[in-house]
Amino acid sequence: MLLAADVGNTNVVFALFDGEGAARKVRARWRIATDPRRTGDEYAVWLLQLLKIEGVERSDITQIIFASVVPRADHNLTVLAQKYFGLTPLFAGQGAARWRFEIDVDQPSSLGADRALNILAAHHKYGGDLIVIDFGTATKFEAIDFNGTYKGGSIAPGINLSLDALVGKTAKLPRIAIRAPDTTSVIGRNTEDQMLIGVFWGYVAMMEGLVERMRAEIGRPAKIVATGGLAILFDEATDMFDHVDADLTIEGLGILAEQAEQG
């Protein structure tokens, strides 16, 4: 079995893969808040209990791979792998788990592991020209050509960051939960509705406008793949997405681990 973890700015998502090659599938996934101070021992107390519930022994894990955009967490994750599983983990983008696709941008080394995994998995699963949108702490837009080459993209504040800024920098606006408005009207009748319209439909308009501009630059039909926690929410408000794939980043880790095995 393969144990994988995607370490983001907000959460760490662990996933357990079962099988080999094309038959390898995600068997279970667990989420914990990102805290760079969390020790390898603390991770183990939490994770080993979840593996036990799943009926998995430590000895069943034969490979571990991490993708991290939080460098301060890397050491403690390495301790987790070595102390509790007796394995040296792979880190996405490094060593045997290096990227095997072309990164055609000005600073290839600046591409985050999460974004690279989305590029890898999207090309592997869907092929052709692609635009991948990942809804995380930030919303990332990636342009990938039919050869799997990363051509660039854009980064926008995540919708929750936008809402935090709106509420945090104003004295009287209340905190609201992100959800789809009850109607498609963009003329609100009270303050909370007006905020929700501005944040939600404003975000949808930003996405649709940016994707339209990206498609024009690409000059060929491009499929739109959405991933991340809020992808399903926005899928209900726009017909822009060709695929909504919540496990894209994690599946990228599975593909990368397989590539590392093959050498």
Q: So which residues are the catalytic ones?
A: 114
Rounded Cα gap, residues 172 and 191, in angstroms = 10
3-state helix, strand, coil in the chain (%, to 5): 45, 25, 35
Residue (of 178, 136, 140) closest to 31 by Cα position: 136
Three-class secondary structure assignment of 37-61: CCCHHHHHHHHHHHHHHCCCCHHHC
Compute the distance between CA of residue 171 and CA of residue 181 in angstroms, rounded to an integer.
23
Strand segments, DSSP code E, in 19-129 are 25-33, 63-68, 90-91
Upper half-sphere CA count for residue 235 (Cβ side, 13 Å): 18
Q: Which residues contact 120 (CB under 8 A, 6 or more apart)?
A: 99, 101, 148, 252, 255, 256
Give the C-alpha separation, 15 to 3, whole Å: 6
Q: Do residues 253 and 4 lie in contact, with contact meaning Cβ atoms separated by under 8 Å?
A: yes
* Bridge partners, residue 88, by sequence: none
154, containing H or E segment: strand 150-157
